Chains A and B, each alone.
Chain A
Amino acid sequence: MRYMLTRLAGLPLTLVAVSLLTFGILFLVPGDTVDVLAGESIADPAAKARMAAELGLDRPFLVQYADWVWRAAQGDLGMSTSSHRPVAELIWTRLGVTVQLAILGTLISVVIGVAAGFLALRFRGRLIDRLIMAWAAVGMSIPSFVSATLIVLGISILLPDLGVVSYVPFSRDPLGSVASLMFPALSLAVVSGSMFCRYVQGAGDDIFRNADYVRTARAKGAGDRRVLARHVMPNAILPLITVAGLQFAQLLGGSVIAETIFSLPGVGRLVITAIGERDYPVIQGGVLVITMSYVLLNLLVDMVYPLVDPRIRVGSNGGRA
Chain B
Amino acid sequence: MTRPVLEFEGVSKVYGTRSAGIRVLRDVSVSVAAGETLGLVGESGSGKSTFARLALGMEQPTAGTVRIDGKPTRILGAGAGGSAQIVFQDPASSLNPALEVATSVREPLTVSKKFNRPARDARVATVLDDVRLNEELRHRIPSELSGGQKQRASIARALAALPPLVVCDEAVTALDVSVRAQVLNLLRSVRAEYNSTLLFISHDLSTVAYMSDRIMVLYLGKVMEIGRTASMLEDPAHPYTTTLLSAVPHMQQGRLRRRRIVLGGEAPSIANPPPGCPFSTRCPIARDICRQQEPPLAPLANGNSAACHFPHMLEREAAA
**What are 23 contact pairs spanning A and B, CB under 8 A?**
A317-B269, A318-B45, A318-B269, A318-B270, A318-B271, A319-B22, A319-B24, A319-B45, A319-B269, A319-B270, A319-B271, A320-B44, A320-B45, A321-B24, A321-B25, A321-B44, A321-B45, A321-B46, A321-B47, A321-B48, A321-B49, A321-B50, A321-B270
Cβ-based interface call for B57 (8 A): no
Across-interface contacts of B236 in A (CB, < 8 A): none
**Which 4 residue pairs of A and B lie closest in terms of their CB atoms, listed nearest first?**
A321-B47, A318-B269, A321-B24, A320-B44
Interface string of A290-321 (1 = CB under 8 A from B): 00000000000000000000000000011111
Give the total of B residues in contact with A, Cβ under 8 Å.
15
Does B39 touch A at the CB level, under 8 Å? no
State A20–B229 Cα separation when bound (angstroms).
67
> B221 → chain A, closest Cβ, in Å?
7
Distance to closest chain A CB from B62 (angstroms): 14
Assembled-state Cα–Cα distance A319/B49 (Å): 12
Q: Distance in Å from the Cβ of A318 to the closest Cβ of chain B?
A: 4
- Residues of B229-283 at the interface with A, using a CB-CB cut-off of 8 Å, are 269-271
Q: Write the chain B residue with the least CB distance to A317.
A: B269
| Number of chain A residues whose Cβ lies closer than 8 Å to a Cβ of chain B | 5
- Per-residue CB contact flags for chain B residues 9-34 toward chain A (1 = under 8 Å, else 0) read 00000010000001011000000000
Residues of A within 8 A of B48 (CB): 321
B89 CB to nearest chain A CB (Å): 15
| Cβ of A1 to closest chain B Cβ, rounded Å | 13
Complex CA gap A321/B49 in Å reads 6
Q: Which residues of B contact A318 (CB under 8 A)?
A: 45, 269-271
Residues of chain B having any CB pair with chain A under 8 Å: 15, 22, 24-25, 44-50, 221, 269-271
**Chain B min CB distance to A138 (Å):** 35
CA distance A317 to B271 in the complex (A): 9
Residue of B nearest to A320 (CB): B44
Residues of A within 8 A of B44 (CB): 320-321
Chain A residues whose C-beta falls within 8 Å of the C-beta of B25 in the assembled complex: 321
CA distance A318 to B44 in the complex (A): 10
A320 to B48, CA, bound (A): 10
Instruction: Name the A residues within 8 Å of B22 (CB-CB).
Output: 319
Residues of A near any B CB (own CB < 8 A): 317-321
- What's the nearest-Cβ distance from chain A to residue B278, in Å? 12
Query: Are A321 and B221 in contact (CB-based, < 8 A)?
Result: yes
Give Cα distance in the complex from A48 to B271, angstroms.
71
A191 to B15, CA, bound (A): 47
| B61 CB → nearest A CB, Å | 14
Centre residue among A317, A318, A319, A321 by max chain B CB count within 10 A:
A321
CA distance A321 to B25 in the complex (A): 9
Contacts of A321 in B (CB 8 A): 24-25, 44-50, 221, 270
Residues on the B chain within 8 Å of A317, using CB: 269
Q: B215 to chain A: closest CB distance in Å?
A: 18
- When distances are taken between beta carbons in the complex, the residues of chain A under 8 Å from B46 are 321
Alpha-carbon distance between A132 and B228 when the two chains are bound, in angstroms: 68
List the A residue with the shortest CB-CB distance to B24.
Answer: A321
Cα A187 to Cα B121 with chains together (Å): 63
Chain A neighbourhood of B50, CB < 8 A:
321
B265 to A: closest C-beta gap in Å: 14
A320 / chain B contacts, CB cutoff of 8 Å: 44-45
Chain A's nearest CB lies how many Å from the CB of B207? 20
How far is it, in angstroms, between the C-alpha of A319 and the C-alpha of B22 when the chains are bound? 8
Write the nearest CB–CB distance from A209 to chain B, whole angstroms: 22
Cβ of B219 to closest chain A Cβ, rounded Å: 11
Question: A318 to B271, alpha carbons, bound, how many Å?
Answer: 6
In whole angstroms, what is the CA distance A319 to B21 when docked? 11
- How distant is the Cα of A317 from the Cα of B266 in the complex, in angstroms? 13
B31 to nearest A CB, angstroms? 22
**B15–chain A nearest beta-carbon distance, Å:** 8
In the complex, the chain A residue whose C-beta lies closest to that of B15 is: A319
| Nearest Cβ on chain B to A3's Cβ, whole angstroms | 15
Task: Tell me the nearest residue of chain A to B271, going by C-beta.
Answer: A319
Given known contacts A318-B270, A319-B271, A321-B49, what 13 new A-B pairs fall within 8 Å (CB)? A317-B269, A318-B271, A319-B22, A319-B24, A319-B269, A319-B270, A320-B44, A320-B45, A321-B24, A321-B25, A321-B46, A321-B221, A321-B270
What's the minimum C-beta distance from A321 to chain B, rounded to whole angstroms? 4
Q: Which residues of A contact B270 (CB under 8 A)?
A: 318-319, 321
A321 to B45, CA, bound (A): 4
Cα-based distance from A320 to B24 in the complex (angstroms): 9
A182 to B46, CA, bound (A): 61
State how many angstroms separate the Cβ of A13 from the closest Cβ of chain B. 25
* Alpha-carbon gap, A321 to B53, bound state (A): 11
B196 to chain A, nearest CB (A): 25
The smallest C-beta distance from A189 to any residue of chain B, in angstroms, reads 41
Chain A residues with CB under 8 A of B221? 321
User: How far, in whole Å, are A34 and B229 apart by their CA atoms in the complex?
Assistant: 86
Question: What CA separation (Å) do A182 and B269 show in the bound complex?
Answer: 56
Cα–Cα, bound, A1→B96 (Å): 37
Residue of B nearest to A318 (CB): B269
What CA separation (Å) do A319 and B14 show in the bound complex? Answer: 12
Please give the distance in Å from B71's CB to the nearest CB on chain A.
25
When chains A and B are docked, how far (Å) is the Cα of A319 from the Cα of B44? 9
Contacts of B269 in A (CB 8 A): 317-319
Tell me the smallest distance from the CB of A155 to a CB of chain B, in Å.
53
* Cα A12 to Cα B15 with chains together (Å): 29
Give the shortest distance, in Å, between A277 (CB) and chain B (any CB). Answer: 54
Min Cβ gap A43→B in Å is 66
In the bound complex, CA of A129 to CA of B44 (Å)? 46
Q: How far is the CB of B297 from chain A (nearest CB, A)?
A: 18
Q: Hey, which chain A residues are within 8 Å of B45, CB to CB? A: 318-321
Q: How far is the CA of A142 from the CA of B15 in the complex (A)?
A: 51
A70 to B75 alpha-carbon distance, docked (Å): 49
